[in-house]
Amino acid sequence: MVRLLLDLRRISEPAERERLAREADENGIWGVVVTGPQGGECVEASAIATTTHHVTIVVDVDGNDVHPTTLAEEISVLDQITQRRTMVIFRGTSTSKATIATLLSGLPSQGVILSPPPAQASIPIQSPEDIPQTKLPEDVTQLATIIDQYRDSQTAFLIVSWERPIKELARHAVGRAASTDFPQMVADMADQIDPID
Amino acid sequence: MDMGIGLWCLQSTATSPRSFGQAYQELAEDARLAEDNGIHSLWLSEHHGYYDGYCPALMPAAGAALAATESIQIGTGVLLLPLHEPHRVANAANLLNEQSSGRFQLGVGMGYRPVEFEIKERDMSQRLKLMNAGLDVLRTTTQTPTWVGISSEKAAERAGRRGLGLFISGAFSKDVVNTLIQAHRTAWAQSNPSGDTPPPVGLLRNLWIVDTEAERRQALDWVRSSYLVYAGLGWGADNTGVDFVSQIETSMDEVEKSATVGSAEEIATELDGYDVDLVVCRIGYDQPPRTALTEVIERIGRELTPLVQDLGVQW
């Protein structure tokens, strides 16, 4: 399966980001991707976490010009706030990434251990190049083709941009991303019975 | 005079163990409760690498508290600026204020624990230089109201010269507090001869509203024991009569003497002697049961706040 991460990084209005995050939360989208100015990434993620309950908060952080322990502390506190719903996209040197990954696994790095520790046993940390991203088409048939391609290529995560209602994305893409035998006719029937404006 | 509450440290201490997830959830609940009861502000506190999870990252915690509320101010009391990259602090402060329509207050201090400077690979002997460099960055990159936590006259003077607010420790006697405020105001006046409104002064006070003598003794015991945390952290201040490193019992006696515990009317009378803009009631102890904490938040808002609103600085 491929887990869908709704990209909120280019949504400029805070209220609109929160609305989309809440809709993703309510409709079973696996994650939302957020960021902020350098140093403010976990602030933005924290605000989104406070207005949601289930969705994974994927925070895109700039790891340059910051002590790795400082960044790890921010992410660890964020994981307490999200209650184990944190995932990280890290931009920075491989050395810093390795240090932060160790700390976010609750293990010591050069004698330092995070306090508080992350709420999760280990917070997933990815590089930007590890996760493909795509702007999904509005046409349902084209959407299905793209989701099938990523699902069948053994991709773990896919960052998606989507400009139509979140419920439509959830109805047509989440089940398809999870399974090769997604019954498209059920989603099509749902569109007839419960149209999404 | 505005009334705030503090210090929320998000700990799980040996005295009162709890899950950290619960601590952060209760931060949002407490901020909402304080807001509903008309309290001006809630203040967070920072340390690094301590066993009890004392919050090391105040900006995400402030973000959660601000997102959970609509009108209360949330402040850092204080963020240890020499241990951070100032441009990141400024960016986070600006974002917090943008998201909250100007409800974030940035309190900064120097830090005093050698281990925290070791963790961040910074030279503690250079902390004043780091602090000043950080304040220079903040001055040019953020409009966020900035307060400086201090424990000496020299530090109060530095804050005054820069036109920054003052955030004074809860452990000091009234005489020490007044000396620090005077140093701050004099330095500000000398640096800003044409200025009309000095930067604000915030005062942390160990404070609890009680009805009986037994409750009073209980509250004072909570205050005393809360400073065991600071003894463990190694906090002390020169020339103030408070040094938890070498004189713990004497210092606890000093703290108890300076604590403001009584009825709302008695506390208001005591606070009338302070020439400050803001009193932050230090009630975030780890010993009181949660019901006692929520009750005192409600009483500070409903009983004490109306009594002190016309006290303090009148410009």
Task: State residue B36's pLDDT score.
Answer: 98
A39 touches chain B (CB under 8 A): yes
* Contacts A116 to B, Cβ<8 Å: 10, 12, 20, 53, 55-56
- Whether the CB-CB separation of B201 and B168 falls below 8 Å is answered with yes
What CA–CA distance (Å, rounded) separates B230 from B235?
A: 5
Question: Token pair of B186, please?
Answer: 């004099």
Q: Inter-chain contact B60–A81, Cβ cutoff 8 Å?
A: yes
Task: State residue B315's pLDDT score.
Answer: 46
Instruction: Specify the pTM.
Output: 0.95
* Closest chain A CA to residue B11: A116
For residue B69, give how far its alpha carbon lies from the nearest alpha carbon of chain A (Å): 10
Q: Inter-chain contact B24–A81, Cβ cutoff 8 Å?
A: yes
Task: State residue B227's pLDDT score.
Answer: 79
Chain segment B272-312, per-residue pLDDT in tens? 989 999 999 999 988 899 999 999 999 999 999 999 998 86
**pLDDT-based confidence at B244, cuts 50/70/90?**
low
**pLDDT-based confidence at B237, cuts 50/70/90?**
low
pLDDT at A180 over 80: yes
Task: State residue A101's pLDDT score.
Answer: 98
* Contacts B55 to A, Cβ<8 Å: 77, 116
* Contacts B23 to A, Cβ<8 Å: 80
* Contacts A74 to B, Cβ<8 Å: 57, 59-60
Q: Inter-chain contact B87–A49, Cβ cutoff 8 Å?
A: no
Task: Please give the radius of gyration of chain B, using alpha carbons only, rounded to the nearest integer.
Answer: 18
Q: Which CATH architecture has domain B2-308?
A: Alpha-Beta Barrel (3.20)
Chain segment A126-155, per-residue pLDDT in tens? 999 999 999 999 999 999 999 999 999 989
Task: State residue B240's pLDDT score.
Answer: 56
Task: State residue B26's pLDDT score.
Answer: 97
pLDDT at B75 over 90: yes
Chain segment B92-108, per-residue pLDDT in tens? 999 999 999 999 999 99
Chain segment A42-79, per-residue pLDDT in tens? 999 999 999 999 999 999 999 999 999 999 999 999 99
* Distances, alpha carbon A159 to alpha carbons A5, A20, A27, A179, in Å: 5, 15, 17, 18
The complex's ipTM works out to 0.96
**pLDDT-based confidence at B226, cuts 50/70/90?**
confident
Nearest to B121 among A43, A67, A81 (CB): A67
The neighbouring-strand residues paired with B280 are: B4, B204
**pLDDT-based confidence at B243, cuts 50/70/90?**
low
Chain segment B163-204, per-residue pLDDT in tens? 999 999 887 888 899 999 999 999 999 998 887 889 999 999
**pLDDT-based confidence at A14, cuts 50/70/90?**
very high
Residues 132-171 on A with a CB inside 8 Å of B are none
Beta-strand pair B104-109/B79-80: parallel
What CA–CA distance (Å, rounded) separates B207 from B166?
A: 19
The neighbouring-strand residues paired with B80 are: B109
Mean local confidence (pLDDT), B14-40: 96
**pLDDT-based confidence at A13, cuts 50/70/90?**
very high
Task: State residue B290's pLDDT score.
Answer: 95
Task: State residue A86's pLDDT score.
Answer: 98
Chain segment B122-144, per-residue pLDDT in tens? 999 999 999 999 999 999 999 99
Which residues fall within 8 angstroms of residue B309, CB to CB, at 6 or more apart? B1
pLDDT at A197 over 90: no
* Contacts A73 to B, Cβ<8 Å: 48, 56-57
The 3-state secondary structure of chain B reads: CEEEEEEECCCCCCCCCCCHHHHHHHHHHHHHHHHHCCCCEEEECCCCCCCCCCCCCHHHHHHHHHHCCCCCEEEECCEEHHHCCHHHHHHHHHHHHHHHCCCEEEEEECCCCHHHHHHCCCCHHHHHHHHHHHHHHHHHHCCCCEEEEECCHHHHHHHHHHCCEEEECCCCCHHHHHHHHHHHHHHHHHHCCCCCCCCCEEEEEEEEECCCHHHHHHHHHHHHHHHHHHHHHCCECCCCCCECCCCHHHHHHHHHHHCEEECHHHHHHHHCCCCCCEEEEECCCCCCCHHHHHHHHHHHHHHHHHHHCCCCCCC
Q: Inter-chain contact B24–A14, Cβ cutoff 8 Å?
A: no
Q: Mean pLDDT for chain B? A: 92
Q: Mean pLDDT for chain A? A: 97
